[in-house]
Amino acid sequence: MRKYKVVHSDTLILAVECGEEDYFNFGTLTLTLQSDGRDVYIFDIDPDKYYKALELSGHEMLPGFDPDNGWYQRHDKEISFIYERTFHPKRSDLAIVLEPWGMTPENYSRWDLLKVTKGIHLDKWRVLAPQSD
């Protein structure tokens, strides 16, 4: 099996919204760019905190994550959590919908949009930037 080096990595905190600007953190979602050019998405979730987060979310499952597959999951394809919360790159009005976030179709990345919007969707699941020291 061929191993690839990680060229770049970016981690976001997985959280459930408990109130306005109040969040309960339960794990991380990491995007890694490997030396072969592929993106890899990694869920790393604390099981006890996940079950509490499920209660706080109204028992709605975290999109793209299946606890039956373990608490550390690696995905070689973009996960539903991301594409449900971002715009398709071929959307005809992409320039217009990206404008509020200062992005253009030329510099658009679903991951970057996810970061600036906190993954806001119709559910309570969110992503937060790690706090810098």
5-51 pLDDT tens trace: 767 889 999 999 998 779 999 999 999 988 888 899 999 999 999 99
pLDDT tier for residue 2 given thresholds of 50, 70 and 90: low
Residue range of the domain that includes 61:
6-79+119-128
Q: Is residue 38 part of a domain?
A: yes
70-117 pLDDT tens trace: 999 999 998 999 989 999 999 999 999 999 999 999 999 999 999 999
52-63 pLDDT tens trace: 999 999 888 899
Full DSSP string of 29-93: EEEEEETTS-EEEEEEE-HHHHHHHHHHTTSPPPTT--GGG-SEEEESS--HHHHTSS--TT-TT
Q: Is residue 57 part of a domain?
A: yes
Q: Is residue 112 part of a domain?
A: no
Q: Is residue 133 part of a domain?
A: no
Q: Is residue 34 part of a domain?
A: yes
Tell me what pLDDT residue 3 has: 66
Q: Give pTM, 2 decimals.
A: 0.86
